[in-house]
Amino acid sequence: MSGQAEYVIVGAGSAGCALAYRLAEAGRSVIVVEFGGSDAGPFIQMPGALSYPMNMPRYDWGFVSEPEPHLGGRVLAVPRGKVLGGSSSINGMVYVRGHACDYDHWREAGASGWGYADVLPYFKRMEHWHDGGHGGDPGWRGRSGPLHVTRGGRRNPLVRAFVEAGRQAGYPVTGDYNGAQQEGFGAFDMTVWRGRRWSAANAYLRPAQRLGARVLRGLATRVVIEQGRATGVEIATPRGAQLIRATREVILAASSINTPKLLMLSGVGPGAQLAGHGLPVLADRAGVGQNLQDHMEIYLQMAARLPVSLYRHWNPLGKALVGAQWLLTRRGPGASNQFESAGFIRSRAGVAYPDIQFHFLPLAVRYDGRAAAEGHGFQAHVGPMRSPSRGSVTLRSADPATPPRIRFNYMSHAQDWEDFRACIRLTREIFAQEAFAPFAGHEIQPGAGVQSEDEMNAFLRAHVESAYHPCGTCRMGRADDPGAVVDPEARVIGVERLRVADSSVFPRIPNGNLNAPSIMVGEKVADHLLGRRLPPENAVPWMHPDWQSAQR
């Protein structure tokens, strides 16, 4: 026995940190179990260094997918944060709430109390939004929450050209895609404050610790379930196995990969699969590990005719100078994630709200930090938001130290291919606008020779990448839904005093990056635990008036 608290949270990630803070703030005793170590150091805290931590074994679980059958057997990286702050400490710091219609879909799918009117107050409570003089929707945003949300300086001319090109192509410009109008082109929000990554650890966990929450390092190996009730968590530490007792509840916030794995190791999941690994079946829940979703994207890269991209910093001396400037002043290129312009559009008429997202970057580079050999360039990361493909997370063995099998089943529907071909065509059209005329050279990737449907498909099969947004593996739904894992109170169906609060509860993946929705889940589930709710806000989002007949 190494500890006891009213609430034991597994995972010091985006949702787990928010949970810990709100429970500690309410005077509850909290223990957070986290396998990863410290988030100190410039590779995590410097926004411009974002390509490093997600490729470092010290900070990343190092998961990979199974060979993906529709991508020629490719094995894709599945980065997940193994560090205080979880994936909020290794992500791209892009802040997107999602569209109002995403949450209304959750409600209609059985997650009652999770419609947009219900979640908007929690998005507002968690934010401390700084408009940076770029306009926005103050009435839709929060001004006093723990999570600082800012905008970059947008000084690079390519960043401004992207929004202008979207306007020239006939799309709306939005002053705040996290406000009333997501659809259109505009400035990106990021979780950066005073030049530093503002992760869930910085925003929530450290304040929670000052209020008495404790963090214990160790690998959670199972939830202890006695007579149908969760009573604690067993963890493996260098000193051996230890038991952490929960006098009220256990909450799993270990990610959409590790949460279903831990449930299955604890006897909660598809009965036949558990029995096949010699595990007891304490709650036969077919949905555990199923419904895995993700966003995929391609990088459409252009060579730049003028030396205006960030490539001038992409050499040992340039990186050293950027790093030194950041260390001394928290300013310069290192103080931004460099995703400073966004776009959300609809792929075709008849789509009610955006189903394509753009991240614009004034550099031609991969997430692993490898720059295009061409030199100066720029790119748009573009991909569909609502793929019909579904995958799974399943146990490889009953050994808690063994990674699970992760099979996304990417691009398994014809709709995926059609949507991605539309992404390529629509992005090319934007880069062909007059705003890019001074800057745009030739197309690096896919390349001007890739035009036919077959050529595009071959390119996609070889180059489509994950946007690192896995979710949905412990789907929330009605208590009588056989595919649901948790009910609308986030309680695991079939086990008392056990909840899930992370991106695994999402019934369907929302538009955009998942850090903000994950934190929102932590905020809201904390209120469920405390027996309180923020009153709903019936804000009406902007919808394109001609969406049924027009693409833009």
State the first-to-last Cα distance of the chain, in angstroms, to the nearest integer: 61
Name the burial class of residue 53, with classes exposed (0-12), middle (13-18) and buried (19+) by CB atoms within 10 angstroms of its CB: buried
Residue found by looking up tokens 């892009």 in the block: 94
Please report the pLDDT score of residue 375 as a whole number: 86
Element (H, E) at 34: strand 30-34
Query: Which CATH fold would you assign to the domain 1-135+194-289+391-402+469-538?
Result: FAD/NAD(P)-binding domain (3.50.50)
Q: How is the chain split into domains, by residue range?
A: 1-135+194-289+391-402+469-538, 153-187+296-384+412-463
Kindly list the distances between the CA atom of residue 75 and the CA atoms of 65, 71, 252, 255, 261, in Å, as whole numbers in the listed order: 5, 9, 28, 20, 20
| CA within 13 Å, CB half, 404 | 26
Binding-site positions for FAD read: 83, 91-94
3-state SS of 437-486 is CCCEEEEEECCCCCCCHHHHHHHHHHHCEECCCCECCCCECCCCCCCCCE
Please report the pLDDT score of residue 1 as a whole number: 52
Q: Read off the amino acid at residue 359.
A: H
Please report the pLDDT score of residue 471 as a whole number: 98
**Measuring CA to CA, which residue among 546, 531, 522, 527 is closest to residue 14?**
522
Beta strand segments in 188-294, E: 189-190, 192-193, 196-197, 214-217, 219-226, 229-237, 240-252, 268-269, 283-284
Please report the pLDDT score of residue 128 as a whole number: 97
pLDDT, one tens digit for every residue, the chain (552 residues)? 569 999 999 999 999 999 999 999 999 999 999 999 999 989 999 999 998 999 899 999 999 999 999 999 999 999 999 999 999 999 999 999 999 999 999 999 999 999 999 999 999 999 999 986 666 788 899 999 999 999 999 999 999 999 999 999 999 999 999 999 999 999 999 999 999 999 999 999 999 999 999 999 999 999 999 999 999 999 998 889 999 999 999 999 999 999 999 999 999 999 999 999 999 999 999 999 999 999 999 999 999 999 999 988 988 899 999 999 999 999 999 999 999 999 999 999 999 999 999 999 999 887 666 666 678 999 999 999 999 999 999 999 999 999 999 999 999 999 999 999 999 999 999 999 999 999 999 999 999 999 999 999 999 999 999 999 999 999 999 999 999 999 999 999 999 999 999 999 999 999 999 999 999 999 999 999 999 999 999 999 999 999 999 999
Q: Compute how many other C-beta atoms are within 10 angstroms of the C-beta atom of residue 40.
A: 11
Active-site positions read 469
Return the DSSP state at 364.
-
Kindly list the distances between the CA atom of residue 110 and the CA atoms of 113, 365, 505, 528, in Å, as whole numbers in the listed order: 9, 41, 12, 17
Q: Read off the amino acid at residue 333.
A: P
**Residues 6+ away with beta carbon under 8 Å from 197:** 44, 45, 46, 47, 89, 93, 191
Binding-site positions read: 83, 91-94
Could you tell me the pTM of the whole model? 0.97
Please report the pLDDT score of residue 136 as a whole number: 77
Distance from CA of residue 446 to its chain's centroid?
26
Distance CA 444, CA 463 (A): 13
Distance CA 10, CA 65 (A): 23
**Measuring CA to CA, which residue among 105, 32, 20, 481 is closest to residue 293?**
105
**Residues 6+ away with beta carbon under 8 Å from 284:** 269, 270, 271, 494
**Measuring CA to CA, which residue among 524, 507, 447 is closest to residue 105?**
507
Bridge partners, residue 293, by sequence:
471
**Measuring CA to CA, which residue among 503, 527, 425, 542 is closest to residue 184?**
542
CATH classification number, 153-187+296-384+412-463, choose in 3.40.30.10, 3.40.50.1000, 3.30.410.40, 3.30.1510.10: 3.30.410.40
Question: Dihedral sign, CA of 441, 446, 450, 451?
Answer: negative
Please report the pLDDT score of residue 134 as a whole number: 63
Determine the longest span between alpha carbons in the chain, in angstroms: 70
